[in-house]
Structure 1
Amino acid sequence: MTNTFKEKETVQLLQRLVEIPSPSGYTNEIMQFMATILDDIQVPYIKTNKGALIATIEGKDKSNHRLLTAHTDTLGAMVKEIKASGRLKLSMIGGFNWNSVEGEYCHIHTASGKKVRGTILMHQTTVHVYKNAGSAERNIENIEVRLDEKVMNADDTLKLGIEVGDFVSFDPRFEQTESGFIKSRHLDDKASTALLLRLLASINENNLILPNTTHFYISNNEEIGYGGNSNIPAEVVEYIAVDMGAIGDGQTSDEYTVSICAKDSSGPYHYELTRKLVALAKEQNIDYKLDIYPFYGSDASAAIRAGFDVKHALFGPGIEASHAFERTHIDSLKNTAALLEAYVLSPMETK
């Protein structure tokens, strides 16, 4: 296997990706950026009606195809209500806890294209006024957006062009430390998206010949459950979701290895395909961990629920504090990139 991982290019691309706002349902800009990259590296692709992109690299075997997917959509929110004070009540997009976004800076994306800055706060934030500032429940009733505009009432906010249904994106706060950590919101799943794009570039730069025709599915609705459950070519036999490994008590995943998922909330992943990934990791001396994620679903499991007859598996970089203040390490990106390359270069076992 060739060692084609380029750290600087990968991290720069990842930073660019997380800095493009793309909560589920508001992904036009990020998908246009994806299309530009695919155009630049001259990889053919199609655009689905849902806005996803499917790039294809032809391989020696044109009958038995593979598909790898990562998603660009992220957590976010929508304006649920404009309060009498002019502040905003939010409705969640994706699964997270309100305390994970308390204090975060944000953008409100109006229908006219104007972006308004704000901060997500508890209504009872001021400790000099509210006795229960620390104990009040972090919920939809108490969390609000304080706008960085002179607004005294709901009419003032409406005059800014803000209305119910406008999208709200959270600042990523990207940072790479000297010790190799990468901290940012939205590493789920833009870390994996960056790795797929860099793999595509590497295939072209190094004139790599794939044993099987391989599709790269960049989905844009995974956080709401149906990103990669359609438009799967009939020839696809193996479907790989490249998504984060979840870290916490009782988990084996960490921030330094590639995490291979044996089972999540949807049930076990395809046993033989999962074991093949483990065998490849062992053969190539790739640091990996096998894990089970109890409260997790992927585009691969969505494809299975949609009725596609494919072998499905899941692996990706280990992400600390998922759906909150996320962090990973460059070693995890390297190991995931290595397993991706080993997988696409290994012939598919067909019966």
Structure 2
Amino acid sequence: MARLPIDAQYLTEQLKALLKIPSPTGYTDTVVRHVTQEVQRLGLDVELTRRGGIIAIHRGKGRAAARAIVGHVDTLGAQVKRLKENGRLELVSIGHWSARFAEGARATIFSEAGTYRGTILPLKASGHTFNEEIDTLPVGWPYVELRIDAIARTDAETRKLGIDVGDIVAIDPQPEFLENGYIVSRHLDDKAGVAVMLAAAEALAREKAETEVDIHFLFTIAEEVGVGAASILTPDVASMVAIDNGTTAPGQNSSEFGVTIAMADQTGPFDFHLTQKLVRLCREEDIRFQKDVFRYYRSDSASAVEAGHDVRTALITFGVDASHGYERIHVHALRSLAELVTAYATSPIEIERDREYHAGLKGFTRQPTREAPQVIEDDPAPAHVPAGVV
């Protein structure tokens, strides 16, 4: 079956709803409830892990060699490290992001007594007081503090509010959805990926699409701290495609348009055969794509492999400008990703041997080894050998 039509309005509405729910790693119960209720509405079979990882299954003709699509609902955030003598809060980051992007952010503190609002400020925030020193203060988490919008002038007053060390701090996303298709917000990593997964699941349900095997839509809750899909996979899953952000920074080949297929990240190359299949599907279905390699990046798939899961992995991404900061994406990439997910979900099984946990050499995959044909300069249509054909 070819790629399925994607409801772009549904996709963007789901993204807006997700961005409204604070969900830094460690505080994801509310967003888990939201996503679970939505996939149940779409008719998927749903189970939750103890901590809230979501396994939502579109049932296919068979369970062996099931396919997984994975994204994470948790985001970056912060945590209270110390109640300062001036009543403000020293913070540590949740996930890896620069305090440069925290300065000026509005935030919510989740305390035992309830929630409080506040602003993350540099230690020297007033030009009227510190003059040019506000421009020479170093960048880093030791040089910012959270000002609470309540009577909190001393550490005793702050403690009286019910705020304490370890409280979770969620950063406001401040989203903007522009008419030209651009979306600017914090936490698009990976709430945009989750919206893509929901849009693909909606298309499969709407079109009553049949799949050869079960399709597991997996939503993890701790990717930003390196846990990811370590414990959510079941043994019948043979291949897993992660959806996350691709960086459109200088020196990278990612784009805010189309699908960016990652060939490798800091953990090494992704599975050759699964990645080449995704490339081939993009070509066959006329989905714009480009390839990239990420040197300082890991996703849900890395944690799964490191945990010992024998599963083929690949990573497809939406191009993000200023990742882990004020991020910007384009709806074209999100729609393209959802189209690719539907094309992959409905495509036939090509490696029959993957239906078995262990098997002999018969049916084992082959990678191309023969010399590529020479291109003659005056040949208007040189021969082409598709990747993986031997």
Q: What TM-score do the two structures reach when normalised by structure 2?
A: 0.88
Q: CA deviation at 1:311?
A: 0.8
Q: Which residue of 1 aligns with 2:121?
A: 121
Q: Which residue of 2 aligns with 1:242?
A: 243
Q: Which residue of 1 aligns with 2:366?
A: none
Letter in 2 for 1:121: L
Q: Distance in 2 between matches of 1:276 and 1:111?
A: 49
Letter in 2 for 1:129: T
- Equivalent positions of 1:186-225 (< 5 A) are 186-225=187-226
- SS in structure 1 at match of 2:228: coil
Letter in 2 for 1:303: A
Letter in 2 for 1:115: T
Deviations 1:316-350 (A, max 9, x none): 21111100001100111111111111111111212
- SS in structure 2 at match of 1:68: strand
Q: Which residue of 1 aligns with 2:45?
A: 44
Structure 1 residue 273 corresponds to structure 2 residue 274: yes
Gaps of 5+ in 1: none
Q: Distance in 1 between matches of 2:80 and 2:245?
A: 28
Q: Distance in 1 between matches of 2:5 and 2:106?
A: 37
Q: Distance in 2 between matches of 1:178 and 1:232?
A: 39
- SS in structure 2 at match of 1:129: helix
Q: Distance in 1 between matches of 2:348 and 2:256?
A: 29
- Equivalent positions of 1:249-264 (< 5 A) are 249-264=250-265
Contact residue 7 and residue 203 of structure 2 kept, 8 A: no
- SS in structure 1 at match of 2:22: coil
Structure 1 residue 181 corresponds to structure 2 residue 182: yes
Identify which range, 249-258 or 147-156, moves more after superposition: 147-156
Q: Which residue of 1 aligns with 2:291?
A: 290
- SS in structure 1 at match of 2:189: helix
Contact residue 228 and residue 301 of structure 2 kept, 8 A: no
- SS in structure 1 at match of 2:128: coil
Deviations 1:214-258 (A, max 9, x none): 111100000011121113111111111111111111111111121
Q: Distance in 2 between matches of 1:104 and 1:210?
A: 45
Letter in 2 for 1:118: G
Deviations 1:170-225 (A, max 9, x none): 10111111211011111000101011112222212211111211111100000011
Q: Distance in 1 between matches of 2:173 and 2:63?
A: 40
Q: Distance in 1 between matches of 2:343 and 2:41?
A: 24
Q: Which residue of 1 aligns with 2:364?
A: none
Q: Which residue of 2 aligns with 1:313?
A: 314
- SS in structure 2 at match of 1:212: coil
Contact residue 254 and residue 292 of structure 2 kept, 8 A: yes
Q: Which residue of 1 aligns with 2:323?
A: 322
Letter in 2 for 1:32: R
Q: Distance in 1 between matches of 2:225 and 2:4?
A: 35
User: Sequence identity of aligned pairs in percent?
Assistant: 35
Q: Which residue of 1 aligns with 2:234?
A: 233
Deviations 1:115-136 (A, max 9, x none): 1111111011112222421111
Q: Distance in 2 between matches of 1:332 and 1:38?
A: 22
Contact residue 65 and residue 236 of structure 2 kept, 8 A: yes
Letter in 1 for 2:203: S
Gaps of 5+ in 2: 354-390
- SS in structure 2 at match of 1:158: helix
- SS in structure 2 at match of 1:117: strand
Q: Which residue of 1 aligns with 2:367?
A: none
- SS in structure 1 at match of 2:163: coil
Contact residue 73 and residue 220 of structure 2 kept, 8 A: yes
Q: Which residue of 2 aligns with 1:15?
A: 16
- SS in structure 2 at match of 1:208: coil
Identify which range, 145-154 or 188-197, moves more after superposition: 145-154
Q: CA deviation at 1:150?
A: 2.4
Q: CA deviation at 1:2?
A: 4.9
Alpha carbon RMSD of aligned pairs, Å?
A: 1.1
- SS in structure 2 at match of 1:106: strand
Letter in 2 for 1:7: A
Q: Distance in 2 between matches of 1:203 and 1:141?
A: 48
Q: Which residue of 2 aligns with 1:95?
A: 96
Larger Rg: 2
Q: Distance in 2 between matches of 1:208 and 1:31?
A: 26
Q: CA deviation at 1:61?
A: 3.0
Contact residue 3 and residue 285 of structure 2 kept, 8 A: no
Q: Distance in 2 between matches of 1:143 and 1:11?
A: 34
What number of residue pairs does the alignment pair up? 350
- SS in structure 1 at match of 2:65: strand
Moved over 4 A (4+): none
